[in-house]
Every structure is written in C-alpha cells, then in structure tokens.
Amino acid sequence: MSSPSPDRSSSEERFTESSGRSAPLAHMIFNAAMAVLFAALFLRAGELPSSMWEPLGASSFPRLVLALLILINLAIVAKEWRAFAARSAAERGLVGRWAWRHRLAFGVLGLFALFIFAVPWLGFAWAALVFLMLGQWLLGARSLKGLIIALAVALVFSFGVETLFREVFVISLPRGLFG
Amino acid sequence: MDALFSGMEQLFTLGTMLTMLLGVVAGVIASAIPGFTITMAIVLTLPLTFTLPPLQGIATMLAVYVGGYTGGLISAALLGIPGTPSSVATTFDAFPMARAGQPGRALSLGVWASFFGALISTVVLIIAAPPLAMIAVKLGAWEYFSLIIFAMTVVASLVGKSILKGLLTGLLGLFIATVGTDPMMGVPRFTFDTDLLANGFPFLVVLIGIFAVSQLLQEVEDAEAVKHGKALIPANVSFRPLEGLREVLIHPVNLVRSSLVGVFIGAVPGAGGSIANLLAYDQAKRASKTSETFGTGNPEGVVASESGNSATSGGGLIPMIALGIPGSAVDAVLMASLMVHGIGVGPRLILDHGDLVYGMFMAMLVAAFMVLAVCLVSMRLFLRVTDVPRSVIVPVVLVCCVVGAFALNNRVTDIYLLLGIGIFGYVLSKLDYPLAPLVLGVILGPIAETNLRRALMSDENWTLFFTRPISLGLLIFAAISILLAIRHHRRQKASKAIYPPSP
C-alpha cells in the first residue's frame, strides 16, 4: 500500500520489477504532462500585474515554484527514460489485469463522483443515502441482514447527519431541488 | 496568589467541571472524524458558551481545544487518515503499527504522549509566557521567512526513497497554495475566472482529498479482502495503557524535545500544530538511533508527533495571554469568546483579570487530565472501529469527508475540489509519490510567500535575511538540517552498498 508515510513506498520496486516498461512509461507520461501544464502556467503567470511598491509582485513566487517544478518533472522523465530503455516490454494484458484488480476502487470512485455531482440537485441527505446504499452494496453488503444494516447506516449518516447539523450546529447542508 | 486561588475557586465548581468534561468528549470525537478540525469544533462550541460565566465558557472551549489535539490521533492510527491537520505525522508510524496488529499500542502511545505534551506545554505556559511571548513578537517578516525555510527542511525527512519525487510533491504543495487571491495585491492567480478556483484550494480540502480519499480508495483495491468483509486492521482490541506509559517514558528526551518544539511553534503566531507535529517528527527521526525504522511503526515517531501537536495548545496561548495576539485560528476564536464577555485581551489581561488567566492555566491542566481519563476509558470503544468491515467504513468516511469539506465554508465548489484533489492524490500514491511533503508545502507556502514579499517591501536589501541575528540563526539551523539530511542519506546508501538487502 502506498501512503503518505515517507518509507511506505516499498511497493515501487516490486511493482516495477514485475511490470516491465509499464511503470517507467506511466511515470514518463505523467511527468511530461505535468511539465507541459506547468510550462503553460509559467507563461500565464507572466501576465499577472506587478506592483509599484512591491519588488516581487504577484507573479515572482509562483513563477519560481513553477520553474523548479518544470525542471524536476523533466529530470524525472529523463530518469524514467533510462529505466524504460533498460527493460523489456511487459507481458500482454498487464494493464487490463491491473484495471480489473482495481475494479472496486474505480467503482467506489465513480459512485463518489456521482454522489458529489448529485449533492446540489438531490440535496445532501438524499444523495448521501443513495451513495451509502450503493457503496455498501458494491463492497459486499448483499445478504438481507447486510442490506438492513446498510440501510440503517445510510439513514444515520444521511438524514441523521443533516438533522444534527441543522438543529444543533445551525449549519444547513445543501437541500437540493426538493429542499 | 490571591488571583490563583480566586481562579481555582471559580474553576472547581460542578457546573464548570461538567461542561469541561462535555467539551473534552466533543473535542475528542469531532477531531476523530476525518474532515472535522479543532477549529470547527471550537467555532461550533462558541455560541453555546455565551450564556456561561467567562471562566466557565473559556474553560469549556479550552477543554474542546485540548481534547481535539488528542482526538486526531484516533483516525490517524486506525484509518491512516489524519483526523486533523495536526496529526499528519501521526499516520506515519501509528498506522503501520496498527496495521501490524497493534492498534491498541498505537493509541496508548499516542494518548500518553498527548497527555505529557499538553502537560509540559501548560507548565511552560505558566512559567515562561511573558518572556516567550516577547521573543515570538520580535520575529519580523525576515525571521518568519527564515523560520519557514527551516521548517521546509523537514521535507528531507519526508521524501522517502526518491528525493526528486519528494521535492516535486513539496513544490506542488507550494504551487497549490498560490492558486486563488494573491495575499498582498488581492489579484486572482490561476483562477481562470471560475468560481471553482476563485477562493483557491482551502487547506482542509487539500488535506482530506490527499489523505482521506486516496487512502480510502486504496483500502478497497483488494477485492478479495473486501468481499470477505475484512476490517481495515486485523482485529485486536487489546489496549494496555500502562505499557504505553512505560514505552513513552523510556524516551524522555524525545518526549521533552518534541513538546518544546510544539510549545515554540505554537507560540509563533501563524504557525501551529500542523507544522509542529511534522517538525517534532523530523527532529525525532534525525536524533533516533533507529531512524531507518521510522515510517514502519516506530513508537518514537508516534510519541514525537503526538506530544509535539498537543504541546502547541499551551504554546498558542502564550502570545494570546501575554500580548493579545492569537497564535492560530483557534486562539482567535478563544479571544473572541473573551471579548463576548467584555474582557479586553492584550498585555494588561494578566494584570486586570489575573483570576481569569490563572483559571485558564488551571483549566489547561484539568483538561489534560480529563482528556487522559476520557481516552483511557473510551479507547477500547474506539478500537471497535477496527471490527467494522470496509464495506461500511469506506462509504461512511467518504460522506464525512464531504460534510467536513462543505461545512468549512458552506461552499459546494469545495466538494468538487475535494473530488479533484482526491483523484489526483490517488494517482500520486499509485505512482509512489510521498504525499506528506505536498501537505507541508500547502501549509508553509502562503506564510513563506507573504513574509518574503513583506520583507522585501519594507526593505529591498536581501542581506537583511543574513544580518538580523534571529533570522541568521534560523538559516544556520536550516543549513545544518540539510547537511545532516545529506549525511544521513549518504550513510544509508553506503550501508546498503556494504549490506545489500536480502532478496
């Protein structure tokens, strides 16, 4: 598992060993895209106004950071290129197998995105209720008992949370078109 | 002495003790929920204290404050998600420790470290408030910038195996912090005339997106484990507080050093727990004889982070009580609560309202003991979280994240940002980028830029950074810190070359 921890990236070696050129290729695409994006932002930052009484102005600090970001991204691309050239191609179907292995994560992410976009329309409570039910079903709550527990959890963390915030904290969560 | 006894008399009443206890429980629970910060808990408590007598009101809020610093530990250790920005470094070692089947040990260490951190900071607050406050306010823009440069050297400890990747995410954090309104001129930067980016990336939204969303998605990658209803952490609810106490006390230097880092950073207006825990962790890692095990469940890392962040609670009160300057957003709310009661906060506070100030000192001590008692009693209950299957906990925590992101500013656009940052954080973690430097960059970026520009605005002479004594001292510390990090990396490389890891 990769995580915020500084020393928890040991999966890198294992992954790169087994994935042939895929890992360096993924890095090269990602870092090259970042370098292009930051170069465009660097140019845009040049349009920011300067100030009469302030030597640095609004653009200097972000441009300094963006310049360093461009350099580091290019350095990573160069480093990964060497790794790419030194390795043989990965076996066919690797990407498909990787995507299949991550199907639940992508499923949850898709549901989460739908939930977030539904909040302004359905309101927090209804959107959360549907998300919690579907999310728990997707992750394995399929039996009758599991579904009853899922419904109870969904009600508490959707309508229950909305009521708590409205009545106790006087914060109105989005009510949506039906609110 | 009269003021002290008068303060104690007002504090030790049944009503005050009861509202403080409720405050402690509320602080611990609120901070344990990812997306809910101590500031939010305090802000929500403020209106409830309006009708209370001044000392009871402020003591209740201090109880929330002290409880909040400990509560962040719970989700950091059990879910790998920092409950508050102050517990980012706690995830580094407490979560791997919990994952290795010792969640009770991680919580026990954290609870005791938090208790001693709060205790040490209160003692320092009582003894050294006026002199420390005088040092803190002598820091001009040059010293602030140099202090941030020193804090940035922490990145060297957070980069993991690839320095380039660590630097990249650190700089990414600095860049993210520049999006939105320019802090000096007020012009929009990189907002592309959209409502979405008009207010920039709120720090809390970045924190939740980067840590919580990406972490939760990783939790459901293993389809087999999820299908079989496995919990996040192997079930083991043993919680042995005395063992935790012993383990904390066998590293007294680490405990005291981390607490003092917390007190000092807390006393510097604008810094706070979110920086203190990372700095304390960094110092502990550098000083440790087993630094190579940091990040894998080293108890010293848990102790450093938790004592460091809890110690900022006392530190933050130093400039507030001595000079009327709030050290953080939480202190500003505390000041507001005093003002609501008609008490002017400033250098004369201790002279005009000595009983109140001594009552606050005592309230800090009482709150620290209450937090300890509440945590020792309730931790077994919190450990039950480890029994909850991922199918329940992942969607529920995601909903909490959305509520936290929205409730911060009541903006729907913030939850769109949460989604975007969450996806970006997930991509970064899949490509093995360390995420902690990014968060550090977002915290330090605005302070660094504002003070650099402010310094040069008042005097364009760059050499002032090197000629003002405190600024020079901090820059020397930063240089030493970098040199030590380089030496550490070289030694590690050399030892790997001599003793290559077994396959």
DSSP line for B75-101:
HHHHTSS-SSGGGHHHHHHHHHHHHTT
pLDDT score for B117: 92
Does the pLDDT at position A14 exceed 50? no
Residues A121 and A147 in one domain: yes
Structure tokens at B145: 């910038």
Secondary structure element (H or E) that encloses residue B315, with its range? helix B299-323
Does the pLDDT at position A8 exceed 60? no
pLDDT score for A162: 93
| A2 part of a folded domain | no
Residues A119 and A82 in one domain: no
| A148 part of a folded domain | yes
Secondary structure element (H or E) that encloses residue B189, with its range? strand B188-189
Residues A136 and A159 in one domain: yes
Mean pLDDT check: name the lowest of A111-115, B131-135, B470-474: B131-135
Structure tokens at B259: 């607490």
pLDDT score for A92: 75
Let me know: does B330 contact B38? Beta carbons within 8 Å: yes
| A177 part of a folded domain | no
The rounded distance, in Å, linking the Cα atoms of A141 and A147 is 6
**Residue A7's pLDDT band (boundaries 50, 70, 90)?**
very low
E strands within B318-405? none
Q: Show the domain range for A158.
A: 102-167
Secondary structure letter of residue B328 according to DSSP: S
Let me know: does B258 contact B311? Beta carbons within 8 Å: yes
**The Cα angle at residue B45 between residues B42 and B46, in degrees rounded to 5:** 85
Enumerate the residues of chain B whose CB falls inside 8 A of the CB of residue A98. Answer: none
Residues A63 and A22 in one domain: yes
Q: How would DSSP label each residue in A70-128?
A: HHHHHHHHHHHHHHHHHSPPPPTTHHHHHHHHTHHHHHHHHHHHHHHHHHHHH-HHHHH
**Residue B130's pLDDT band (boundaries 50, 70, 90)?**
low
Let me know: does B4 contact B358? Beta carbons within 8 Å: yes
Tell me if A54 and B456 make a contact (CB, 8 A cut-off).
Answer: yes
Number of folded domains that form chain A:
2
A97 touches B: beta carbon within 8 Å: no
Does the pLDDT at position A15 exceed 60? no
| A142 part of a folded domain | yes
User: Among candidates B101, B123, B68, which has minimal Cα distance to B375?
Assistant: B68
B158-172 residue pLDDT tens:
666 777 888 899 899
The rounded distance, in Å, linking the Cα atoms of B481 and B152 is 10
Residues A85 and A22 in one domain: yes
Average pLDDT, chain B: 83
pLDDT score for A11: 41
Amino acid, single-letter form, for residue B281: Y
Q: What is the mean pLDDT of residues A159-178?
A: 88
Best of A9, A69, A156, A175 to substitute, by most chain B Cβ atoms within 10 angstroms, is A9
User: Among candidates B54, B62, B75, which has minimal Cα distance to B27?
Assistant: B62
The rounded distance, in Å, linking the Cα atoms of B66 and B317 is 12
pLDDT score for B157: 64
Mean pLDDT check: name the lowest of A153-167, B46-60, B215-229, B253-267: B215-229
Let me know: does B121 contact B263? Beta carbons within 8 Å: yes
Return the residue of A nearest to B164 by Cα.
Answer: A72
pLDDT score for A13: 43
Q: How far is B311 from chain A (nearest CA, A)?
A: 22
Does the pLDDT at position A12 exceed 60? no
Residue among A26, A139, A158 whose CB faces B431 most closely: A26
Residues A16 and A85 in one domain: yes
User: Among candidates B175, B151, B403, B406, which has minimal Cα distance to B265?
Assistant: B151
Q: Which of residues 93-152 of B touch A (CB under 8 A)?
A: 93, 95-96
% residues pLDDT > 70 (chain B): 89
User: Among candidates B264, B296, B298, which has minimal Cα distance to B279?
Assistant: B264
- The residue with greater pLDDT, B268 or B141, is B141
**Residue A10's pLDDT band (boundaries 50, 70, 90)?**
very low
Secondary structure letter of residue B48 according to DSSP: G
User: Among candidates B431, B438, B427, which has minimal Cα distance to B158?
Assistant: B438
A19-38 residue pLDDT tens:
677 888 999 999 999 999 99
A48-96 residue pLDDT tens:
888 877 888 899 999 999 999 999 999 999 999 998 888 877 777 777 8
Does the pLDDT at position B478 exceed 70? yes
Residues A16 and A89 in one domain: yes
Does the pLDDT at position B65 exceed 90? no
Does the pLDDT at position B70 exceed 70? yes
Give the C-alpha distances (Å, rounded to integers) separating B431 from A15, B87, B219, B426, B486: 10, 24, 16, 9, 24
Residues A88 and A119 in one domain: no
B207-218 residue pLDDT tens:
888 888 888 888
The rounded distance, in Å, linking the Cα atoms of B448 and B469 is 19
Enumerate the residues of chain B whose CB falls inside 8 A of the CB of residue A112. Answer: 213, 398, 419, 422
The rounded distance, in Å, linking the Cα atoms of A141 and B15 is 46
| A88 part of a folded domain | yes
User: Among candidates A105, A87, A59, which has minimal Cα distance to B217?
Assistant: A105
B277-287 residue pLDDT tens:
888 998 898 88
pLDDT score for A3: 40
Q: For residue B161, what are the contacts with CB-CB under 8 A and spacing of at least 6?
A: A7, A9, A12
Does the pLDDT at position B42 exceed 90? no
Let me know: does B24 contact B373? Beta carbons within 8 Å: no
Give the C-alpha distances (Å, rounded to integers) separating B308 from B120, B305, B329: 10, 5, 18
- Among A58, A93, A128, the domain boundary falls at A93
Does the pLDDT at position A16 exceed 50? no
User: Among candidates B65, B29, B491, which has minimal Cα distance to B272?
Assistant: B65
Cα A89 → chain centroid: 28
The rounded distance, in Å, linking the Cα atoms of B50 and A15 is 57
- The residue with greater pLDDT, B385 or B442, is B442
Residues A57 and A108 in one domain: no
Enumerate the residues of chain A whose CB falls inside 8 A of the CB of residue B96. Answer: 5, 8
pLDDT score for B260: 92
pLDDT score for A4: 42
Q: What is the mean pLDDT of residues B117-140?
A: 78
% residues pLDDT > 70 (chain A): 88
pLDDT score for B502: 42
Let me know: does B338 contact B33? Beta carbons within 8 Å: no
Residues A83 and A115 in one domain: no
pLDDT score for B255: 93
| A3 part of a folded domain | no
Return the residue of B nearest to A9 by Cα.
Answer: B432
Residues A156 and A138 in one domain: yes
Does the pLDDT at position B189 exceed 60? yes
Residues A79 and A133 in one domain: no
- Among A61, A93, A125, the domain boundary falls at A93
- Among A74, A93, A112, the domain boundary falls at A93
Return the residue of B nearest to A137 by Cα.
Answer: B391
The rounded distance, in Å, linking the Cα atoms of B238 and A171 is 38
pLDDT score for B327: 64
